[in-house]
Chains A and B, each alone.
Chain A
Amino acid sequence: MISQTAIGHLREKLGARNVLHEKEDLLVLGYDSTPGVHHLPEVVVYPTTTEQVMEAMGIARREGLPIVPRGSGTGLSGGSVPVKGGMVLCLTRMNRILEIDEENLTATAEAGVITLDLFTATAEKGLFYPPDPGSQKVSTLGGNVAENAGGLRGLKYGVTRDYVMGLKGVLPDLSVISTGGKSVKDVAGYGFKDLLVGSEGTLGIVTEITVKLVPPPKDKRTILAYFSDIRTAGEAVSRIIAAKIIPSTMEIMDRATINCVEDYVRIGLPREMAALLLIEVDGHPAPVAEEAAGVQKILEEVKAAEIHVARNAQHAASLAAARRTALSALARVSPTTLLEDATVPRSRLAETFAEIERLTEKYKLKVGTFGHAGDGNLHPTVLCDERDRDEMERAHAFYNELYEQVLAWGGTVSGEHGIGLAKKEYLARQIGEGGVKVMKRIKQSFDPEGILNPGKIFDDRDPCTKSHVEEGFRVSP
């Protein structure tokens, strides 16, 4: 257990309010949104400055405690679950937007800023921060950076990495690192910044982030299409892309998802349809009109059951908001929702849906599928009950077989959620033992003592003997 002296030091450096170690606090900071994984930390700290992050890390090092960074805990791969106990470093109280630089089109913010707050603040200045994870109202910018979060606009605008220009943070040797900055071009040495983005808190603790902003699109059209067969929806997506139209958003929901979302939002989604595509095109008015017409033509050609154009911006926003609730709404059906993050080349979408259908039947499961169809990034979600061991095993077999196929098609095991705990085994299958070895060497050079977020992305040696681990239920095999 962490010593009383260390608790005293932490309180002295961070303030008593920012150091928690009662069992009740530890219990509720040992999870994120990933089902089935829950481990107790020994202490939770809320630093409010980069210096305090350094102080807290120094004390953790002296105590031999692993350090696990955390934002709002919306992660879906277990990245912030303290599997080996130790110190949870919660960055939610570092939540200031430090600057919006209209001359350089950048914004600089602390790691704990809520993604939507940054979006809103930049929008007020007539600028646009495109990354938009489904949990944007809750998730933190630091968490987005750590997991390289994607989102609904990923198709046209890319993911968090594409907007990070500079980072400030603390490395495991307690040095404060600044990498990148406001210069648009910067090729000085290795790309540390890009390495840190998506490193899931295993290489350093990011405390400040400078992001690129872009001018907002001048016009936007939202089209909603319903299908009586989900494979047709997949075909529509492939054909839109093949027609060289890149919408900003192309989201899919299957029947199970449509029904759960409708149960929650009650905006009149058609419960009997097999699938829905939510498509947005944006940009300058002339090309937007042309692209929207192109999308509509393809939807008609593949014989979508119904095609609607959003009545107004408010209607479009309510549809996007509804889509954002998909995963949580699916949790209405069953006590446990296991979701995955399978991503395939877009030409394989229709086949992927067919494969999901086949496996659902084979393993006798209830599955809801939604996701970013335009990116080929799908979230097949098994609706099950973790108390039912047999069902859980069938769920694991389902994903196992699905991923085998996805990898055979040249897909990836994670489009946007990260590897964390949930997909460690699949990662090795995707990038091979050699790839994992190089990753481990990179980890080694940043964090030779293995103190930062151990047990994530790949199994590493266990450097921390003083761990207080509560056995949790592991989701993926």
Chain B
Amino acid sequence: MSLPDKKGNFKSQDAPRYDDVLQCMRCGFCLPTCPTYALTGRERSSPRGRVALARAVAEEKLEFTPAIKEEAFFCLDCRACTTACPSGVRAGEVMEICRSQAQAFYPLSKSGQAFRAFILEKMLPSPEMLEASMLPTRLYQRLGIQWLVRHLKVLKVGPGWMEKAEGMLPRLESPLRPQLPEVVPAKGEQRGRVGFFLGCVMTLMYPGVSRQTVRVLSHQGFEVVTPKQAKCCGAPHLSEGDRQTARQLALFNLDLFLSLEVDYIVTDCAGCGAALKEYEELLEGQAEHEKLTRFRSKIRDISEFLSEAGVRTEGLKPVEASVTYHEPCHLCHAQGISTQPRDLIRQIPGVELRDMKESSWCCGSAATWGLKFSDDSRQVLDRKLKNVKDTDAELLVTANPGCHLQLAWGLREAGMKQEVLHVMELFGKAIPE
């Protein structure tokens, strides 16, 4: 018997599906896995509580109040609750959808809206504009202004997020996108042809990581195609509640990558990977079903891909180091990829992997969450840093640029010695020049 969907007090576009909300049987298995519940001990800041709030809105027991908006944005969207939920409730996604409801119910001021639209609708969708925007920052670093700012502690007088954002900036190199050849040939016997989805943060902040990813893929026998026209995956838009722009970007990337005729589409950014894998739901009814399933079947995170393909280990040189691994939420919880990066690390000769406690607990970065809630973020991060410290490993390896920024900043602030590396950077060290 099919029963009608219920929107209740939600605005009709992009409302959580009532069935998804009803699925929660309130067992509470999500409670011990939720970082914001751990912070506040407050039921409404738990996955179970948040789903109950969404249910109350759908059942017209509650308006879409400012408190719900607050909870939608306070949720880290780390998806740890999704992993923990035996009933299959996806509380993180329900909150992600509530973020777009929040934008509809509580529009920003005119200038705020204009700024938001500029960032989300103009700048992020344009690789060229993004690259140009980094130029002043690179000058700022090259001309020594950053040195001055940091030493004179000028930003102490500004809002907390500004000081943190500045402190998190890695030393920027020029973006990778224009430098990367469209096609990089496979080395040795060719095993296939893959499309590489180069993420925005990767090309701008961590070009070295993706350079290694392409190098590793090529070394492992894959021809790598990196389309220069590729646009942002849409994750920042979903995170800010702009599902419309996210859909436009998704439609563009869908067609672009399907036209490449590659066996797989690989990314080294956990956030992009999760977003790409969720195009299927995001574009439901907006693109041909066949195209969506074909696209979905091709998307792989780099660790997942190499683990499926099997790693060629002959000729790898040893990397003598003790390593611990932080699991990005969007890799382990959103994509269910947990053992593969570890297996990959273990296959690097010389490396000793030391598992940390709570390796899949969020680091507190979570897109702009770490800036918006900088004090809370610090607490989540401190828990992570303690667990890193307890392993006494020399290197901290992860697989997502957001985590990378946050962890590197945290370690610097705490005066800890570990260097942060992407799994591909570590693997790259084992490949002879």
Query: In the complex, are the beta carbons of A20 and B65 less than 8 A apart?
Result: no
Query: In the complex, are the beta carbons of A74 and B32 less than 8 A apart?
Result: no
Flag A434-477 by CB within 8 Å of B: 1 or 0 each.
00000000000000000000000000000000000010000000
B61 CB-CB contact with A under 8 Å = yes
Q: A25-B43, A28-B49 are in contact. Are A325 and B65 (CB under 8 A)?
A: no
In Å, the complex CA distance between A126 and B150 comes to 51
A-B pairs with beta carbons under 8 Å apart, 26 shown: A22-B67, A24-B53, A24-B71, A25-B42, A27-B53, A31-B26, A33-B25, A33-B28, A72-B31, A73-B28, A73-B43, A74-B28, A135-B28, A138-B31, A138-B32, A139-B28, A325-B29, A325-B86, A328-B29, A331-B27, A332-B23, A332-B87, A335-B19, A337-B25, A387-B3, A388-B1
Query: In the complex, are the beta carbons of A23 and B62 less than 8 A apart?
Result: yes
Minimum Cβ distance to chain A for residue B80 (Å): 13
In Å, the complex CA distance between A27 and B71 comes to 14
- Enumerate B22-39 residues with CB–CB distance to A below 8 Å: 22-29, 31-32
- Enumerate B104-163 residues with CB–CB distance to A below 8 Å: none
- Which residues of the partner chain B approach A73 to less than 8 Å between Cβ atoms? 26, 28, 43
Option from A138, A261, A328 in Cβ contact (under 8 Å) with B25: A328
Nearest to A32 among chain B residues (CB) is: B26
- Which residues of the partner chain A approach B28 to less than 8 Å between Cβ atoms? 33, 72-74, 135, 138-139
Query: In the complex, are the beta carbons of B22 and A335 less than 8 A apart?
Result: yes
- Which residues of the partner chain B approach A170 to less than 8 Å between Cβ atoms? none
Q: Which of A24, A329, A336 has the most CB of B within 10 A?
A: A24
Query: In the complex, are the beta carbons of A328 and B85 less than 8 A apart?
Result: yes
Interface size on B, residues (CB 8 A): 33
Flag B36-56 by CB within 8 Å of A: 1 or 0 each.
000001111010110011001
In Å, the complex CA distance between A22 and B32 comes to 24
Minimum Cβ distance to chain B for residue A390 (Å): 9
In Å, the complex CA distance between A93 and B39 comes to 12
- Which residues of the partner chain B approach A139 to less than 8 Å between Cβ atoms? 28
Q: A23-B62, A135-B29, A137-B32 are in contact. Are A31 and B52 (CB under 8 A)?
A: yes
A411 CB-CB contact with B under 8 Å = no
In Å, the complex CA distance between A92 and B41 comes to 8
Flag A420-431 by CB within 8 Å of B: 1 or 0 each.
000000000000
Q: A337-B25, A388-B3 are in contact. Are A24 and B62 (CB under 8 A)?
A: yes
Query: In the complex, are the beta carbons of A385 and B1 less than 8 A apart?
Result: yes
Minimum Cβ distance to chain A for residue B84 (Å): 9
- Which residues of the partner chain A approach B52 to less than 8 Å between Cβ atoms? 27-28, 31
B88 CB-CB contact with A under 8 Å = yes
Interface size on A, residues (CB 8 A): 42
A409 CB-CB contact with B under 8 Å = no
In Å, the complex CA distance between A114 and B28 comes to 12
- Enumerate A366-403 residues with CB–CB distance to B below 8 Å: 385-388, 391
- Which residues of the partner chain A approach B3 to less than 8 Å between Cβ atoms? 385, 387-388
Query: In the complex, are the beta carbons of A331 and B23 less than 8 A apart?
Result: yes
B68 CB-CB contact with A under 8 Å = yes
A79 CB-CB contact with B under 8 Å = no
Given contacts A25-B43, A328-B29, 14 further A-B contacts (CB under 8 A): A23-B65, A24-B71, A27-B44, A33-B27, A72-B28, A92-B41, A135-B28, A264-B86, A325-B29, A328-B27, A329-B86, A329-B87, A331-B86, A335-B19
Nearest to A139 among chain B residues (CB) is: B28
In Å, the complex CA distance between A388 and B22 comes to 13
Nearest to A329 among chain B residues (CB) is: B86
Nearest to A328 among chain B residues (CB) is: B86
A295 CB-CB contact with B under 8 Å = no
- Enumerate A324-343 residues with CB–CB distance to B below 8 Å: 325, 327-329, 331-332, 335-337
A141 CB-CB contact with B under 8 Å = no
Option from A23, A114, A470 in Cβ contact (under 8 Å) with B32: A114
- Which residues of the partner chain A approach B31 to less than 8 Å between Cβ atoms? 72, 138
Minimum Cβ distance to chain B for residue A447 (Å): 26
Q: Which of B24, B29, B49 has the most CB of A within 10 A?
A: B29
Query: In the complex, are the beta carbons of A93 and B41 less than 8 A apart?
Result: yes
User: Interface of chain A, helix or strand or loop or mixed?
Assistant: loop
Minimum Cβ distance to chain B for residue A358 (Å): 24
Query: In the complex, are the beta carbons of B88 and A332 less than 8 A apart?
Result: yes
Flag B177-189 by CB within 8 Å of A: 1 or 0 each.
0000000000000
A150 CB-CB contact with B under 8 Å = no
In Å, the complex CA distance between A135 and B87 comes to 14
Option from B41, B46, B61 in Cβ contact (under 8 Å) with A46: B41
In Å, the complex CA distance between A337 and B26 comes to 11
Query: In the complex, are the beta carbons of B29 and A24 less than 8 A apart?
Result: no
A223 CB-CB contact with B under 8 Å = no
Query: In the complex, are the beta carbons of B26 and A332 less than 8 A apart?
Result: no
A35 CB-CB contact with B under 8 Å = yes
- Which residues of the partner chain B approach A138 to less than 8 Å between Cβ atoms? 27-29, 31-32
- Which residues of the partner chain A approach B46 to less than 8 Å between Cβ atoms? 28
A29 CB-CB contact with B under 8 Å = yes
Option from A22, A114, A135, A470 in Cβ contact (under 8 Å) with B27: A135
- Which residues of the partner chain B approach A331 to less than 8 Å between Cβ atoms? 23-25, 27, 86-88
- Enumerate B1-29 residues with CB–CB distance to A below 8 Å: 1, 3, 19, 22-29
Query: In the complex, are the beta carbons of A328 and B67 less than 8 A apart?
Result: no
In Å, the complex CA distance between A329 and B42 comes to 25
In Å, the complex CA distance between A74 and B23 comes to 16
- Which residues of the partner chain B approach A325 to less than 8 Å between Cβ atoms? 29, 86
Nearest to B20 among chain A residues (CB) is: A335
In Å, the complex CA distance between A328 and B68 comes to 25
Query: In the complex, are the beta carbons of B88 and A264 less than 8 A apart?
Result: yes
Flag A196-236 by CB within 8 Å of B: 1 or 0 each.
00000000000000000000000000000000000000000
Query: In the complex, are the beta carbons of B32 and A29 less than 8 A apart?
Result: no
The list of the 9 closest CB pairs from A to B, nearest first, reads: A328-B86, A331-B87, A325-B86, A28-B49, A335-B22, A329-B86, A331-B25, A24-B67, A28-B43
